[in-house]
């Protein structure tokens, strides 16, 4: 169900050209080198933790066992570091970046501060991470068993929903609610931990988070119910249930049960592009533009080994949940889908933002 756009086509073409040849250049070695792994966020956050978890094992699997250092370059929600990475990073395999949704989203939304195109970067591995929207059962009257009844309840409920800004990864939730005709009182200026605190206090009664945080904080709390997940896009392009919350309907299933037909139209295309950016490319390990194939292939091979390391396997669900990983061209395709939007979809997004939040993407 990935909207097939020019950029997707280009991405796929590029991916096809870059497909592993299985004749990895034997002479590529990083012996004695120092590899700098840029984390465009501060220490201790999710992206940083995942990077550090992988970095210690990666060195064992790279040819020449280089020394790997993790370099945190926070600023502008990863945009500052990404701008510098795009223009300055050497493409000899000594510099890589751990990009995240925050890196891809400004490109999807056409923000003028992002002076990079991640489709030029060379993807190694992508990490999908599920997301869900959940609410206080009693206040919203959602039972989590019958989407049609839940939908009815949500339309009549006084929903209070806290998030950071209208133009952010949480735009996915705003668009999804809008498509379902659900009105919510939206309070801005709340980071995800502020929003969670307000939800905990009962000042908010609807919240959104990644699956890992949701199950950790609320998984066994009967007063809080997940309403839908955003699912995961399978290999054949169809939307599947979230592996961590298989019993919760995906947004599409919820929509079909509530409205009586499958979601479609420009708004839905926007929803899918945002879902791609937020869920499918939650994190991605990337090399700079123009990195030669042998280097890319060496990294893919190494990363595949890292992700089978028992210690990493044990710790990974804690960080990203249990969604399937993707590599190389597959990651490149997901990035293409999550960073491009047709002009009509963009117009729809602008009208939506202007009408509801007095703002636009331009």
Partner 1 sequence: MLDAALVALSQLSDPTTLLALIAGVVMGLLVGILPGLGGTAGLALLLPFVFGMDPTPALAMMIGLTAVTTTSDTFPSVLMGIPGTSGSQATVMDGFPMAKRGEGTRALSAAFVSSLFGGIFGAFVLSFAVVAAKPIILSIGFGEQFMLVVLALSMVGILTGINVWKGLAACALGLMLGALGAAPLSGVQRATFGTDYLLDPLPLVIVGLAMFATPEIIDLLRRQSTISQTGKLGSGWLKGLRDWASNWWLSLRCAVIGCIVGALPGLGGSVVDWIAYGHAIQTTKNREKYGTGDVRGVVAPESANNAKEGGALVPTLLLGIPGSGSMAILLGGLLIIGIDPGVEMVTDHLDLVYVIIWSLALANVLGAGIAFVLAPQIAKLTTVRYVLLAPFMFGIIFFAAFQATRGWGDLIALFLLSVLGVYMKRFGWPRPALLIGFVLAENVESSVYQTVALYGATFLQRPVVIVLLILTLLSVAAAVFYKTTHHDPMTEDSPYKSTGLGPQWVFFAGVVAFTLYILLDAQSYNQLTGLYPTVAACVGLACLVPLGLNMAFRRTPGATFFDAEHGSGAPGDECRSAEFFLGLLLGMLLLSSLVGYVLGIALFIFLFLWKWAEVKSHFAALGAIAFVLFLGILSDQLTLRYPTGLLQGYLGVDLPWPLQ
**What does the binding site for partner 1 look like in residue numbers (CB under 8 A)?**
42-45, 48-49, 52-53, 56, 69-77, 79-80, 83, 113, 160, 164-168, 185, 187-190, 193-194, 196-198, 200-203, 216-217, 318, 357-359
Least distance to partner 1, CB of residue 181, Å: 22
Least distance to partner 1, CB of residue 94, Å: 12
Phi first, then psi, for residue 267 (nearest 5°) are: -60, -40
- Of the pair 73, 304, the CB lying nearest partner 1 is at 73
Least distance to partner 1, CB of residue 3, Å: 25
CB 115 within 8 A of CB 287: no
**Could you tell me what percentage of the chain is helix, strand and coil, using 3-state DSSP and rounding each to the nearest 5?**
45, 15, 35
Least distance to partner 1, CB of residue 49, Å: 6
Pairing of strands 34-39, 95-100: parallel
- Of the pair 67, 264, the CB lying nearest partner 1 is at 67
CA gap 72, 356 in Å, rounded: 36
CA gap 135, 182 in Å, rounded: 14
- Of the pair 163, 334, the CB lying nearest partner 1 is at 163
CA gap 164, 201 in Å, rounded: 18
- Of the pair 65, 111, the CB lying nearest partner 1 is at 111
What is the chain's alpha carbon radius of gyration, rounded to the nearest angstrom?
20
Least distance to partner 1, CB of residue 103, Å: 13
- The Cβ of residue 335 has, within 10 Å, a number of other Cβ atoms equal to 31
- Of the pair 83, 137, the CB lying nearest partner 1 is at 83
- Of the pair 29, 80, the CB lying nearest partner 1 is at 80
Two structure tokens written together for 265: 């139209």
CB 223 within 8 A of CB 137: yes
Least distance to partner 1, CB of residue 50, Å: 11
CA gap 337, 326 in Å, rounded: 14
Decide: helix, strand or coil at residue 185.
strand
Least distance to partner 1, CB of residue 182, Å: 18
H/E element holding 100? strand 95-100
DSSP 8-state secondary structure symbol assigned to residue 250:
B
- Of the pair 224, 300, the CB lying nearest partner 1 is at 224
CA gap 272, 29 in Å, rounded: 40
């Amino acid at each position: 169900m990935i909207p097939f756009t020019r950029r997707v086509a280009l991405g796929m073409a590029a991916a096809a050209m870059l497909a592993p040849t299985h004749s990895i250049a034997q002479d590529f070695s990083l012996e004695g080198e120092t590899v700098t792994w840029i984390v465009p966020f501060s220490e201790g956050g999710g992206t940083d933790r995942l990077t550090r978890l992988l970095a210690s094992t990666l060195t064992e699997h790279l040819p020449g066992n280089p020394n790997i250092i993790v370099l945190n370059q926070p600023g502008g929600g990863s945009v500052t570091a990404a701008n510098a990475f795009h223009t300055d990073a050497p493409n000899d395999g000594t510099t890589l970046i751990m990009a995240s949704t925050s890196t891809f989203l400004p490109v999807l939304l056409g923000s003028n501060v992002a002076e990079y195109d991640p489709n030029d970067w060379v993807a190694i591995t992508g990490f999908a991470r599920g997301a869900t929207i959940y609410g206080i059962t009693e206040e919203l009257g959602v039972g989590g068993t019958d989407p049609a009844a839940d939908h009815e309840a949500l339309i009549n409920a006084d929903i209070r929903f806290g998030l950071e800004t209208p133009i952010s990864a949480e735009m996915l939730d705003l668009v999804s609610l809008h498509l379902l005709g659900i009105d919510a009182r939206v309070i801005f200026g709340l980071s995800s931990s502020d929003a969670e605190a307000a939800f905990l206090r009962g000042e908010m009664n609807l919240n959104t988070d990644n699956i890992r945080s949701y199950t950790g904080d609320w998984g066994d709390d009967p007063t809080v119910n997940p309403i839908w997940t955003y699912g995961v896009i399978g290999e054949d392009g169809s939307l599947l249930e979230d592996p961590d919350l298989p019993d919760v309907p995906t947004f599409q299933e919820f929509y079909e049960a509530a409205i009586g037909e499958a979601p479609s139209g420009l708004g839905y295309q926007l929803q899918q592009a945002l879902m791609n950016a937020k869920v499918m490319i939650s994190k991605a390990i990337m090399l700079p533009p123009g990195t030669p194939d042998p280097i890319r292939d060496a990294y893919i091979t190494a990363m595949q080994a890292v992700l089978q390391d028992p210690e990493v396997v044990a710790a990974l669900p804690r960080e990203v949940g249990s969604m399937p990983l993707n590599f190389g061209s597959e990651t490149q395709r997901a990035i293409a889908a999550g960073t491009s939007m047709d002009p009509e979809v963009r117009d729809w997004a602008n009208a939506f933002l202007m009408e509801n939040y007095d703002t636009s993407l331009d």
